[in-house]
Amino acid sequence: MLTNKDQEKTDLESLGEFGLIDHLTQNFPLTQKSTLKGIGDDAAVLDFKGKKTIVSTDLLIEGVHFDLSYMPLKHLGYKAVMVNLSDIYAMNAKATQITVSLAVSNRFPLEALEELYEGIALATKMYNVDLVGGDTTSSTTGMIISITALGEADTNEIVYRNGAKANDLLVVTGDLGGSYMGLQVLEREKEVFKVNPNSQPDLESYSYIVERQLKPEARKDVFELLNQLGVHPTSMIDISDGLSSEILHLCKQSKVGCNLFEDKIPLDPTVISACEEFKMDSTLVALSGGEDYELLFTIDQKEFPKIKGNPNLTVVGHMTAENEGAHLISRNNSKIPLTAQGWNSFAKHN
């Protein structure tokens, strides 16, 4: 039986741009009623029948946003879609379509791109979105992926960042810090591999946090849950750059302050143990780690009974008057100003 290493690799030049697009997108059936025309013409044609269209786009660059020495291409394709769908759900909207644009250097054969598109295909199937277009071109610097996500919502359903009011409750979904600690584990194993290429990492005890980094899930379930509960957030954002950074975005856009309670921040036990192992502060990891793709939102206090006791949702604080500023209330009741120490694409990263 042939292994991947034994299989002949197909040079992309032999296919050409349109042949490559046809090959990679042949197994993407259209499932959304709003998709009238997908791939195969000059542009896609969508019909949302009176609903508002939500659009978001993200760029992922090899060496900046992902490292292929430990990021499998299938996982990368899946994650690239999740990053974008998360932004649609953060508007309290239904994700419906994506476009995928890709630039690759000649070190990538067709088989590598097939793996990438397997992950993209799995994401479109799991989240019921249509792939309706995109572009491919060559790159001299590795792989670049740009995905645009589209969604739909009624006007009164859309939630912006600027609707929070003083005394609104601050709510977070899931748990935080897992993705960042998964990255620490993967980076450590990469260094071990450099020293000893024969080493076989045992990541079983880190499986949850490694998966949070390599294969995150956008919170479509929370978008659906809030609709079922009849809860309409006053403001919302997804947690891509760290909790503190996202809170400050809500505060700035809504012109409010915030008290975030340290002892309320949801942390998985594996995150706490990994932080102890790496000698990192778990609160700082949750505040600044990023890439959790959870949702952070505010609700009117009278909505609290609807979410009380729900295992998917945690009240972590409340909004205050703008002149009070944004603070972390520590476990010993100290008031510490919140600062944005999350991911900065233009900072120098070692």
Instruction: State the pLDDT at residue 225.
Output: 95
Q: Would the pLDDT of 220 be above 90?
A: yes
What pLDDT sits at residue 173?
Answer: 98
* Local confidence band at 350 (pLDDT 50, 70, 90 cut-offs): very low
Asked whether 58 and 147 are in contact (CB, 8 A), the reply is yes
pLDDT at 174: 97
pLDDT tier at 2, thresholds 50, 70, 90: very low
**What local confidence, expressed as pLDDT, does residue 3 receive?**
43
Domains in the chain, please, with CATH?
A: 16-157 (3.30.1330.10), 169-337 (3.90.650.10)
User: Does pLDDT of 297 surpass 80?
Assistant: yes
**In this predicted structure, what is the pLDDT of residue 114?**
95
| pTM for the predicted model, two decimal places | 0.89
Quick check: 5 pLDDT over 80? no
Q: SS3 for 215-278, per residue? A: CCCCCHHHHHHHHHHCCCCCEEEEECCCHHHHHHHHHHHHCEEEEEEHHHCCCCHHHHHHHHHC
Q: Tell me the mean pLDDT in the region 72-86.
A: 97
pLDDT digits (tens, 9 = 90+) for 304-320: 999 999 999 999 999 99
Distant-in-sequence, close-in-space partners of 296: CB < 8 Å, separation ≥ 6: 170, 171, 172, 173, 236, 237, 238, 239, 243, 246, 247, 250
pLDDT category, 25, cuts 50, 70, 90?
Answer: confident
What does the block give as tokens for 187? 């980076």
pLDDT greater at residue 145 or residue 11: 145
More reliable by pLDDT, 121 or 10: 121
Residue 63 has pLDDT above 50, yes or no: yes
pLDDT at 83 over 80: yes
Task: Write the single-letter amino acid at 74.
Answer: K
* Number of CB atoms found within 10 A of residue 244's CB: 23
Give the pLDDT band of residue 348 (cuts 50, 70, 90): low
Task: For residues 87-105, give the mean pLDDT.
Answer: 95
Residue type, 182: G
Could you give the angle at which helices 178-195 and 269-277 cross, rounded to 10 degrees? 40
Overall average pLDDT of the 153-175 stretch: 96
